[in-house]
């Protein structure tokens, strides 16, 4: 059974932690394959179109998040480090309505915990002011919490279906 997302905000870093009742192998797979990503990525109400995905160190993932308000947000991730099935580290760029608008680095850590996974997502922004700007403009922290919830719902449902 999942528990709520623990959120810690420090300076220019936001850390999200959550236990998910699926094995590390499924959690990692769901964070690293096109088929899975399209089913859960993003905050509530968003859908996703992947334009390209090269899940390898140095590879990129280009995608469009379709907001419930009808706006499309182009995003690009460059994978900086992949240590299967323990760590995914990436640089993320996102476009707002008027062009490039969001930039941060993130690390996703998958740790076995009993029969499940302790998932930790750390987002590191260029400055505390940039984190505050993105939070004010996009409600980034709540969006990331919803993102983690969406992931947990999806992988726990996938586990129940034997995927």
Average pLDDT estimate for 152-159: 91
Q: What is the pLDDT of residue 1?
A: 37
State the total domains in the chain.
1
Residue 1 lies in a domain: no
Question: Percent helix, strand and coil across the chain, each rounded to 5?
Answer: 30, 45, 25
pTM: 0.91
Cα torsion 14, 17, 18, 22: sign: positive
pLDDT of 149 strictly over 70: yes
Q: What is the pLDDT of residue 2?
A: 41
Q: What is the pLDDT of residue 95?
A: 79
Average pLDDT estimate for 147-163: 86
Please report, for residues 76, 92, 96, 125, the alpha-carbon distance to residue 134 in angstroms, rounded to integers and kept in the order given: 17, 13, 10, 9
- Identify the domain containing residue 64 by its residue range: 6-160
Residue 20 lies in a domain: yes
3-state secondary structure 27-75: HHHHCCCHHHHHHHCCCCCCEEEEEEECCCCCCEEEEEEECCCCCEEEE
How far apart are alpha carbons 61 and 55 in whole angstroms? 7
Q: What is the pLDDT of residue 44?
A: 92
Reference 79, options 66, 92, 70; nearest CA is: 92
Percent of the chain scored above 70 by pLDDT?
Answer: 93
How far apart are alpha carbons 56 and 79 in whole angstroms? 7
Phi-psi region of 123 (alpha: psi -120 to 50; beta: other; left: phi over 0): beta
Average pLDDT estimate for 8-27: 96
CB-based contacts of 96-103 (< 8 A; 24+ apart in sequence): 96/137, 96/138, 97/71, 101/137, 102/134, 102/138, 102/140, 103/130
The enclosing domain of 55 has a CATH number of 3.30.530.20
Q: What is the pLDDT of residue 159?
A: 82
Pairing of strands 116-124, 87-96: unpaired
158 pLDDT tier (thresholds 50, 70, 90) = confident
Q: What is the pLDDT of residue 96?
A: 62
What mean pLDDT value characterizes the chain? 92
Residue 86 lies in a domain: yes
pLDDT of 163 strictly over 60: no
């Amino acid at each position: 059974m999942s528990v709520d997302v623990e959120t810690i905000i420090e300076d220019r870093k936001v850390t999200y932690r959550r236990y998910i009742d699926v094995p590390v192998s499924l959690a990692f797979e769901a964070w690293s394959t096109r088929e899975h990503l399209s089913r859960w990525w993003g905050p509530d109400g968003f859908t996703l179109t992947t334009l390209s995905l090269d899940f390898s160190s140095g590879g990129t993932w280009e995608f469009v998040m379709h907001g419930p308000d009808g706006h499309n947000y182009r995003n690009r991730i460059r994978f900086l480090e992949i240590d299967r099935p323990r760590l995914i580290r990436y640089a993320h760029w996102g476009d707002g309505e008027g062009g490039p608008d969001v930039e941060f680095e993130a690390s996703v850590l998958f740790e076995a915990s009993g029969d499940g996974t302790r998932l930790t997502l750390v987002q590191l922004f260029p400055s505390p002011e940039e984190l505050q700007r993105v939070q004010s403009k996009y409600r980034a922290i709540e969006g990331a919490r919803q993102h983690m919830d969406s992931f947990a719902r999806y992988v726990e449902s996938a586990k129940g279906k034997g995927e």
